[in-house]
Structure 1
Amino acid sequence: MIRRFGEAPKADKRYKIRPGAYVILPRGRDMLVTFQEEPTPEFQLPGGGVDAGESPLVALHREAFEETGWSIAYPRRLGAFRRYTFMPEYDLWAEKICTIYIAHPVRQISDPLEAGHSAHWLPIEAAAELLGNEGDRHFVQKLL
């Protein structure tokens, strides 16, 4: 059974399962995160949805690059959690199955490619408090 974080599912909504891959990118006492401006401004672990026909690791590399501009290496799975949420950019009620990895940030190749995202280095302790969802914070806090 996968642990749930956040709100319980609403009985009057139909949820679509949305698998995703997200990454903790530590370097020394800091970690690389993305700041997403829309729909709600928040710090997030880089990552996102696994597209149809795509493996979670391919999605992880793609999403981390799109949201931070950094290449990553040596991803290792830490665990997973589920959360129920409305995704306004897709007009979708989603049951997100979030698989969390840890990896090495290798080098910055470009600015973030995804509109409304910016890359930030935060102290790990600060990220553990500032990340926008409880599941992400849980996995970062486990590293501390």
Structure 2
Amino acid sequence: MIPRYGTPPLSGQVYRRRPGAYAILHRDGRLLMTHQAQPSPEFQLPGGGIDPGENVIAALHREVFEETGYSIAGPRYLGVYRRYAYLPDYGYYAEKMCHIWLARPIQRLGPPSEPHHSAIWMAPRAAYDALPDEGSRAMLRRSGLITGVK
């Protein structure tokens, strides 16, 4: 069974299944996060939706590059969780299936190409505290890169 985090689905609301690939990126005791300034400012794990027909690892590399400008290596699968959300950029409700990998950022190839995103290095505890999504926090705990939190 895939764990669910966040608010339960709204009764009677139709949700589109939206698989996504996200990364916990670590190097030298820090995490590379993405900050999305719009539509609502928040820190996130780099990643996003897997396009129809796209390989999940290819999507992971593409999304991390778009949101941080970095290439990555050594992705190791951590797990999956689901959450229900309204996606204002797309105008629909989604059942997000969030597949999470642990990986290392290797080289910055340029600035993020995704509008309103910036790459931010953070201490693991600061990143944990900044994440608004309990599922992302649960995966960060699972990664072993942060301790002392429940």
TM-score category (smaller protein): over 0.9
Length-normalised TM-score, structure 1: 0.98
> What residue is the counterpart of 2:136 in the other structure?
136
- The one-character-per-residue Cα deviations of 1:85-109 (angstroms, maximum 9, x if unpaired) are 0001100100000000001110111
The one-letter code of the counterpart of 1:89 is: D
RMSD over equivalenced CA pairs, Å: 0.7
Measured in 2, the distance between the counterparts of 1:97 and 1:63 equals: 15
> What residue is the counterpart of 1:74 in the other structure?
74
> What residue is the counterpart of 1:63 in the other structure?
63
Does residue 22 of structure 2 align to residue 22 of structure 1?
yes
Report the 3-state secondary structure (helix = DSSP H, G, I; strand = E; otherwise coil) of the residue aligned with 1:18.
strand
Query: Percent same amino acid at aligned positions?
Result: 49
Q: CA deviation at 1:21?
A: 0.3
Check the 8 A contact 1:128/1:138 in 2, yes or no.
no
Report the 3-state secondary structure (helix = DSSP H, G, I; strand = E; otherwise coil) of the residue aligned with 1:140.
helix
Measured in 2, the distance between the counterparts of 1:137 and 1:127 equals: 9
* Corresponding pairs, count: 144
Q: Which runs of 5+ in 1 are unaligned?
A: none
- The one-character-per-residue Cα deviations of 1:44-96 (angstroms, maximum 9, x if unpaired) are 00000000010110000000000000000111100000000000110010000
Measured in 2, the distance between the counterparts of 1:118 and 1:132 equals: 17
Q: CA deviation at 1:127?
A: 0.6
> What residue is the counterpart of 1:114 in the other structure?
114
> What residue is the counterpart of 1:43 in the other structure?
43
Runs of 4 or more above 6 Å deviation: none
Report the 3-state secondary structure (helix = DSSP H, G, I; strand = E; otherwise coil) of the residue aligned with 1:103.
strand
Measured in 2, the distance between the counterparts of 1:140 and 1:92 equals: 28
Q: Which runs of 5+ in 2 are unaligned?
A: none
Length-normalised TM-score, structure 2: 0.94
